[in-house]
Amino acid sequence: MWSSTPKVVVDESDLKAPSSDKLPMLEINVDPATLEKTELIWTVVLNSEVESVFNHASNLLVLLYTHINKDVQGLSIPDIINGFIERCMDMLKEPSSTGFVNRVCGLLSKLIAETEKKAGT
């Protein structure tokens, strides 16, 4: 039976950046926020009651915002990443539950891990 408040347990292994060797090559040529189904992925990440669905959807969301083609004119990678962070911080201003806060913090942790990995640190 589905509960009204999803319980998501985020352990250390879930916070690691997705393994690029398991993923197809991904390079985004537009601001991910403007992609047609990005909002749907945000909804799945924030509302899924199945932990594995949350993990896969959040990995995809982070990859969309971090695998930007740096050669596309008019795209500012720092602005795109800042937009992701600002959206998360706005959601934390009015959290609906502890599980929601954990999800948003998990997204931010995955974003940090992926950007550090891409920076080579």
83 lies in a domain? yes
- pLDDT bracket for residue 27 (50, 70, 90): confident
Domain range spanning residue 117?
Answer: 29-34+58-121
- Is the residue at 107 inside a domain? yes
pLDDT higher at 3 or 39:
39
Residue 64 neighbours by CB under 8 Å, 6+ apart = 26, 28, 32, 35, 38, 41
Establish if 117 belongs to a structural domain.
yes
* Within-domain flag for 10: no
pLDDT of residue 7: 44
Tell whether 45 is covered by a domain: no
